[in-house]
Amino acid sequence: MHELSYMTRLANLACETANENHAKSVKKIKVEVGAMTGVLPKYLEYYFPTVIKGTILEGSELETMLIPVKAHCNNCGKEYTPTADNDYRCPSCKSIEASIIDGRDVKLKEVIVD
């Protein structure tokens, strides 16, 4: 279950951020989940209450946002979302040479404190 390790890491990071901001409590944390990571937001949500128990995050809310995969075509420079529909190729030049520029990380986006 790598969602548990992701959630633990995100919660630690959120705690650090809250402490740095001298927060008394945290209302909500926002997390971006890249579609390419294979991480399922529902599992992050499932582990969240356990992971934050006894920390400054206890009682806060977890908001997850799924970030679609975005590729940058190395041939023509177009940005697109690789899917089975476009055969994971660039829709304008059909090149398969692309760099993934978004959707491959799980990131702590925001910590909303009191």
Taking the complex as a whole, the smallest distance from the CB of residue 67 to Zn ion amounts, in Å, to 21
Q: Are 25 and 112 in contact (CB under 8 A)?
A: no
Nearest-approach distance from CB 95 to Zn ion, in angstroms: 5
- Per-residue contact flags (x/-) with Zn ion for residues 23 to 62, judged by CB under 5 A: ----------------------------------------
Is residue 65 close enough to count as binding Zn ion by CB under 5 A?
no
**Looking at the DSSP assignment, which residues form a beta bridge with residue 67?**
34
Work out which of 14, 18, 29, 73 binds Zn ion, going by CB under 5 A. Answer: 73
Contact in structure between 42 and 8 (CB atoms under 8 Å): no
Under the binding rule (CB under 5 A), the answer on residue 95 touching Zn ion is yes
Distance from C-alpha of 105 to C-alpha of 96, rounded to nearest angstrom? 22
Cα separation, 11 vs 62, in Å, equals 10
Counting contacts by CB under 5 A, is residue 71 touching Zn ion? no
Choices 45-53, 61-69, 74-82, 101-109 (CB under 5 A): range interacting with Zn ion = 74-82
Tokens standing for residue 48: 């969240």
How far apart are alpha carbons 78 and 95 in whole angstroms?
10
The SS3 of residue 106 is strand
What is the nearest approach in angstroms of Zn ion to the Cβ of residue 27?
A: 43
Interacting residues with Zn ion (CB under 5 A): 73, 75-76, 78, 90, 93, 95
